[in-house]
A and B are shown apart, each in its own frame.
Chain A
Amino acid sequence: MNEAGQARSAAASTTPAVELVSISKAFPGVQANDNVSVSLYSGEIHCLLGENGAGKSTLMGILAGMQQPDSGHIRVAGQEVVITSPRTALDYGIGTVYQHSTLVGALTVVENLILGESRALRLNVSRATERLSEFSAMLGVEIDPNALTSDLALGRQQQVEIIKALWRGSRVLILDEPTSMLTPQAVTELQVVLNRLREAGLAVVFITHKLHEAVALSDRISVLRQGRVIGTIDREQVRESSPDELESAIVHLMFGDTLEDASAPELHIAIEEREPGSAAPADTVVDSDGAAVALELNDARVRGDGSQPGLDGVSLQLRFGEVLGIAGVDGNGQRALAEAISGQRRLTHGQISFLGAPVASLSVWQREKLGLRYVTDDRLGEGIVRSLPVSVNLVLKRIGHAPYWRRGQVKRDAIDRNARELVEQFDIRTPSIDTRAGTLSGGNIQKLLLARELTGEAKVVVFHKPTYGLDLKTTRTVRNMIKGLRDGKAALLISTDLDELLECADRIAVLSRGKVVGIVENGPGAAEQIGRLMIGDVSLGLAAA
């Protein structure tokens, strides 16, 4: 940490730039914030750390004017204020970078920046372009003012977001999960930008659920849990502790008594219907190492969505008994890969073989029946139909097929029996099997999807970001299930979470712009190799494969 910077900012932080005092906010069924008080100081990076659902985003939403607190108040520079809208927040000098982009993709960078800036009729593009270059210089970044924001890389878009939040002279900057969509390199860049902002004397708050980020970036850390601040580690303590001490202190705060419980493999689901040890059908293809090949892609090409890359000649081999990880920054063809394998997207070139037989021309249902399954990342968007009951969602991939339908007519008993079994086996917490699936929590929806895909004759399962947005406990359960597939089956694990890949996968392929740029054996040093491959450091590339 920069000693001079610290000294400078320490002097500035006498009165808090912003104080949130006893904020409470409830939503139907959830107490999102419960008497929360937090103070933000100028020249300081303050981290709000907590698990998903701890109330971090709600708290910052209140400060940013997106939501009104039920009780409590806000002081800006010692003055009590009422923030009724995003506009008032900006007027009080509070700028926000949301987790989801608020940039309008169809507008240029400059247009996005001046959106809502002035009440004048004419747009003043030239002055805005000048200001943009000033900001760029301050942050040490380079941005084309006339590019459409939808054409920019995610890291670049985030820089535009930061500039936008500061555009009207904000002194407080809120960042909501700023690293969730970034490459490791872009995270480093962000770190540089944040340090520059701190040196410029701004109060920066960032929200995260990643421990090491909190430790690496912040001057002060507040830990939230279930809507309450359960502890704040102030700057003296942050400065004096080593990262390891800090981490263990935080872990203690975050999980306290529940940690033991969460780490216990309490839910090991044995995939039934196959006697253990039967690695693969006898007539399967065997690769050069002698292991049976479950799934093989040969120069597979697929179109992407819009400007995103599809697959540009991917060749992969997945053997029985292994978990093959696919690393890469989001939007580099992951979805195309998963959908090409599941049958949702047609190949334009190449072949996919499953158990040695070509399957590229088979439908989703035919592949499903053969035992090739796909657990989608877009659980609500395509995984389930929210308005249908849990029981029907569990047979959604078998509509019209026995035993749930006979001669086109529904057999409810069979559907319900299946549902009761799976709900029990996979521990899906639902009031009943008739409950609409859309009302379940994210974790339970994921369990529903897993139940649907892992039953029957599942042989190879593709997982796409399987623990994204899940709580710690369910995450463990899901990862155990994936690892459990090594027992005679195979899994393709597509994830943007490097830790997850390192934990679960045997080998990790790196996907970049629709190509596999390298395959790394999991082990010491794998993380660094993967990171280099992700940014296109080809010197290392294929040698690792």
Chain B
Amino acid sequence: MILVFASAANIFSKPVLTSLLVGGLLAGLPLMFTALGETISERAGVLNLGLEGMMLAGAYTGFLGAYYLHSATVGFVFGALGGMIGALFMVVLCVWLGLDQIVVGIAITLAGEGLTSVLQGAQFGTTYPRLGAPTLASIPLLDRIPVVGPSLFNQPPIAYVCFVLAGLMFWAFRSTNIGLNLKAAGEKPEALDAAGVSVIATRSWAALATGALAGVGGAYLSIVAAGVFTPMMTQGQGYMAIVIAMLARGKPIWVVGASFLFGISLSIATALQLAGINISTDLINMLPFLTIMVALIIFGRRAYLPPGLAVPYVRGMR
């Protein structure tokens, strides 16, 4: 009884709380990048089931960039390019040629998994070289907030980029022509076409942006989170990002919140270990998925998807 009480108290102790918050934030970042990306293309009517593959491509190329050129920034740029290469297949095969988005998406995921593993093997054999610890940037003033300040506002710069991005998307979706075009491309592509804006171009750029963001998300995993590239290191996070995007109903702010929650459940293991509680990691891994299932059962709600999603656009076709 006393023991239980003591450990319960420990859960709310300062180090546990901060590690939970910060850990959740950091673990949620790759999801956030990727899910934000998916939000863009889903809004435009492209369903990207290849996220997992694009993340892996980004993780691999990002790692290469950071490893050979000794710069995390270069690494992220490479990561974005890697993800875009994956997205290019999506653009050409699905957006331009109107082939099936589901099948191509699965193919991109398989190819991403296979190719990065093969290339990593060909390049480094069975060794896994590591990167140095990422440099952190703290935000003046905010990092002086007691308790959470020092750890929350002292992060790798890419973390801030992610939040700025989310804010930017929020603004773009609401009050720019780009946001309007994207929404029309997903809701009713023929209306966008009739208004004289190319649906194909809109969707292509959306798909490429998704690839870039998924690539950055993957690169985050290899450059910042792990400091190393290992095959299959995304472990289903691409699929989680799809789920987050679907549940967030295209709203960037919800994506941020949901990714954060997922991140917390991913990082809860560390926090609990700090608190001296030994819980099976499998159980903790299960939590986010269980949460979603429970939410779906309770609310019984349908994840909203634009009507034009995954339907190729051909002018004049009804």
A–B proximity contact (CB within 8 A):
yes
Mark A residues whose CB is within 8 Å of B.
61, 66-67, 85-87, 90, 96, 98, 100, 102-107, 111-112, 114-123, 125
From B177, B192, B197, B318, name the one whose CB has the most chain A CB atoms within 10 angstroms.
B177
Asked if B192 and A106 make an inter-chain contact with CB atoms under 8 angstroms apart, the answer reads no
Asked if B187 and A105 make an inter-chain contact with CB atoms under 8 angstroms apart, the answer reads yes
Asked if A121 and B177 make an inter-chain contact with CB atoms under 8 angstroms apart, the answer reads yes
Asked if A122 and B183 make an inter-chain contact with CB atoms under 8 angstroms apart, the answer reads no
A85-B196, A104-B192, A115-B191 known; 19 new pairs, CB 8 Å cut-off, are A66-B194, A67-B316, A86-B194, A87-B197, A96-B194, A102-B191, A104-B183, A106-B183, A111-B180, A114-B180, A115-B180, A115-B181, A115-B197, A116-B181, A116-B184, A116-B196, A116-B197, A122-B175, A125-B175
The interface residues of chain A lying within 8 Å CB-to-CB of B181 are 115-116
Q: Which 6 interchain pairs have the tightest Cβ spacing? A: A87-B196, A116-B195, A116-B197, A102-B191, A115-B195, A104-B188
The interface residues of chain B lying within 8 Å CB-to-CB of A98 are 194
The interface residues of chain A lying within 8 Å CB-to-CB of B195 are 86, 115-117
B315 at the interface (CB under 8 A from A): yes
Asked if B177 and A119 make an inter-chain contact with CB atoms under 8 angstroms apart, the answer reads yes
Asked if B180 and A107 make an inter-chain contact with CB atoms under 8 angstroms apart, the answer reads yes
Mark B residues whose CB is within 8 Å of A.
175-178, 180-181, 183-184, 187-188, 190-197, 315-316, 318
The interface residues of chain A lying within 8 Å CB-to-CB of B175 are 122-123, 125
Given A85-B196, A115-B192, A116-B197: A123 and B187 within 8 A (CB)? no
What separation, in Å, do the CA atoms of A105 and B195 have in the docked complex?
Answer: 15
Q: In whole Å, how far is B168's beta carbon from the nearest beta carbon of chain A? A: 12
Q: Which one, A104, A120, A122, contacts B184 given CB within 8 A?
A: A104
Closest B residue to A168 by CB, please name it.
B196
The interface residues of chain B lying within 8 Å CB-to-CB of A85 are 193, 196
The interface residues of chain B lying within 8 Å CB-to-CB of A116 are 181, 184, 192, 195-197
From A86, A105, A111, name the one whose CB has the most chain B CB atoms within 10 angstroms.
A86
Asked if B176 and A115 make an inter-chain contact with CB atoms under 8 angstroms apart, the answer reads no
Q: In whole Å, how far is B196's beta carbon from the nearest beta carbon of chain A? A: 3
What separation, in Å, do the CA atoms of A67 and B193 have in the docked complex?
Answer: 13
What separation, in Å, do the CA atoms of A98 and B187 have in the docked complex?
Answer: 17
**Main DSSP-derived SS at the A contact region:** loop
What separation, in Å, do the CA atoms of A103 and B192 have in the docked complex?
Answer: 9
Pairs across A and B, CB under 8 Å, 15 listed: A61-B316, A96-B194, A98-B194, A102-B190, A104-B192, A106-B187, A114-B180, A115-B191, A115-B195, A115-B197, A116-B197, A122-B177, A123-B175, A123-B177, A125-B175
Closest B residue to A103 by CB, please name it.
B191
The interface residues of chain A lying within 8 Å CB-to-CB of B315 are 66
The interface residues of chain B lying within 8 Å CB-to-CB of A125 are 175
Asked if A120 and B177 make an inter-chain contact with CB atoms under 8 angstroms apart, the answer reads yes
What separation, in Å, do the CA atoms of A123 and B315 have in the docked complex?
Answer: 26
What separation, in Å, do the CA atoms of A120 and B183 have in the docked complex?
Answer: 17
Given A104-B183, A115-B184: A86 and B193 within 8 A (CB)? yes
Asked if B177 and A107 make an inter-chain contact with CB atoms under 8 angstroms apart, the answer reads no
The interface residues of chain B lying within 8 Å CB-to-CB of A87 are 196-197
Given A107-B180, A121-B177, A122-B175: A102 and B194 within 8 A (CB)? yes
Q: Which one, B176, B177, B188, B316, contacts A105 given CB within 8 A?
A: B188
Asked if B196 and A118 make an inter-chain contact with CB atoms under 8 angstroms apart, the answer reads no
The interface residues of chain A lying within 8 Å CB-to-CB of B316 are 61, 66-67
Q: In whole Å, how far is A140's beta carbon from the nearest beta carbon of chain B? A: 25
What separation, in Å, do the CA atoms of A484 and B191 have in the docked complex?
Answer: 44
Closest A residue to B176 by CB, please name it.
A121
What separation, in Å, do the CA atoms of A112 and B316 have in the docked complex?
Answer: 20
What separation, in Å, do the CA atoms of A114 and B183 have in the docked complex?
Answer: 13
What separation, in Å, do the CA atoms of A115 and B193 have in the docked complex?
Answer: 10
Q: In whole Å, how far is A210's beta carbon from the nearest beta carbon of chain B? A: 22
Asked if A118 and B177 make an inter-chain contact with CB atoms under 8 angstroms apart, the answer reads yes
Q: Which one, B178, B188, B190, contacts A121 given CB within 8 A?
A: B178
What separation, in Å, do the CA atoms of A96 and B316 have in the docked complex?
Answer: 14
The interface residues of chain B lying within 8 Å CB-to-CB of A115 are 180-181, 184, 191-192, 195, 197
The interface residues of chain B lying within 8 Å CB-to-CB of A118 are 177
Q: In whole Å, how far is B194's beta carbon from the nearest beta carbon of chain A? A: 5
Q: In whole Å, how far is A531's beta carbon from the nearest beta carbon of chain B? A: 32
Asked if B183 and A107 make an inter-chain contact with CB atoms under 8 angstroms apart, the answer reads yes
Closest A residue to B179 by CB, please name it.
A123
Q: Which one, A66, A102, A117, A122, contacts B176 given CB within 8 A?
A: A122
The interface residues of chain B lying within 8 Å CB-to-CB of A61 are 316
What separation, in Å, do the CA atoms of A100 and B187 have in the docked complex?
Answer: 15
From B180, B187, B197, name the one whose CB has the most chain A CB atoms within 10 angstroms.
B180
What separation, in Å, do the CA atoms of A102 and B191 have in the docked complex?
Answer: 5
Q: In whole Å, how far is B173's beta carbon from the nearest beta carbon of chain A? A: 11
What separation, in Å, do the CA atoms of A323 and B316 have in the docked complex?
Answer: 40
Closest B residue to A90 by CB, please name it.
B196
Q: Which one, B178, B183, B188, B197, contacts A102 given CB within 8 A?
A: B188
Given A85-B196, A86-B194: A104 and B177 within 8 A (CB)? no
Closest B residue to A112 by CB, please name it.
B191
Q: In whole Å, how far is B206's beta carbon from the nearest beta carbon of chain A? A: 16
The interface residues of chain A lying within 8 Å CB-to-CB of B187 are 104-107
Q: In whole Å, how far is A451's beta carbon from the nearest beta carbon of chain B? A: 27
Q: In whole Å, how far is B95's beta carbon from the nearest beta carbon of chain A? A: 17
The interface residues of chain B lying within 8 Å CB-to-CB of A100 are 318
The interface residues of chain B lying within 8 Å CB-to-CB of A90 are 196
What separation, in Å, do the CA atoms of A114 and B175 have in the docked complex?
Answer: 12
